[in-house]
């Protein structure tokens, strides 16, 4: 291998560069935000040249978009893809989030991006709509009178708990779960014989 084939740290170029860039983006975007992370810093963390970075991602916007695509592509699968739970239990399982979980990357990205037409902002919007749709599908299965409304309420509650937990550095998910129980109970009619 010639010196021209080596990257900034003497490592072979090309092998895993894309993954290193995405890994560095995930870490730096989470720790300091998208706006405060420059391409020079990102390239240094990924151990790639700027040229290599731009060969994999034509722009920082493209990198941000790919970074978001890596988060929960099935949307809250830890709760909604469980076959051992009823539909009602799956809705409540979505609130079983450790308080140490970082701020939702979609919320963080949407807040940082000024342009609502930015591909990252569009992905964030699509993700949030998908979360409400997953709640609505479970609500429909559970027999909710207005499953779309319940889905929207629960999605909003989950986002609020996520943000409040981060801002206050204290668990808000247990409170949100208690509120979710009330919303779900009020939205799903009781059958004869239920108390």
Residue 149 pLDDT greater than 60, yes or no: yes
- The alpha carbon of residue 78 and the mean position of all alpha carbons in its chain are separated, in whole angstroms, by 13
**pLDDT tens digit sequence for 61-78:** 899 988 888 876 667 888
Counting Cβ atoms within 10 Å, is residue 154 exposed (0-12), middle (13-18) or buried (19+)?
Answer: buried
How far is Cα 16 from Cα 101, in angstroms, rounded to an integer? Answer: 27
Mean pLDDT of 169-173: 91
**Cβ atoms of residues 127 and 106 within 8 Å:** yes
| 32-36, 78-82, 103-107, 161-165: least confidently modelled range | 103-107
Residue 185 phi, psi (nearest 5): -60, -35
Tokens describing residue 84: 């051992």
């Amino acid at each position: 291998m010639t010196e021209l084939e080596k990257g900034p740290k003497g490592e072979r170029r090309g092998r895993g560069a894309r993954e290193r860039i995405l890994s560095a983006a995930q870490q730096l975007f989470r720790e300091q935000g998208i706006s405060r992370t420059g391409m020079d810093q990102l390239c240094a963390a990924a151990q790639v040249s700027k040229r290599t970075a731009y060969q994999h991602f034509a722009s920082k916007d493209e990198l941000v978009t790919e970074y978001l695509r890596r988060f929960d592509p099935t949307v809250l699968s830890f709760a909604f893809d469980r076959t051992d739970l009823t539909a009602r239990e799956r809705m409540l399982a979505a609130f079983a989030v450790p308080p140490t979980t970082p701020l939702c990357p979609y919320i963080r990205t949407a807040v940082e991006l000024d342009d609502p037409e930015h591909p990252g902002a569009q992905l964030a919007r699509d993700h949030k709509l998908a979360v409400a749709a997953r709640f609505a599908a479970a609500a429909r299965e559970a027999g909710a009178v207005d499953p779309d409304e319940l889905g929207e309420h629960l999605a909003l509650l989950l986002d609020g708990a996520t943000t409040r937990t981060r801002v206050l550095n204290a668990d808000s998910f247990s409170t949100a779960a208690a509120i979710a129980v009330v919303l779900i109970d009020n939205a799903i009619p009781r059958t004869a014989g239920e108390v």
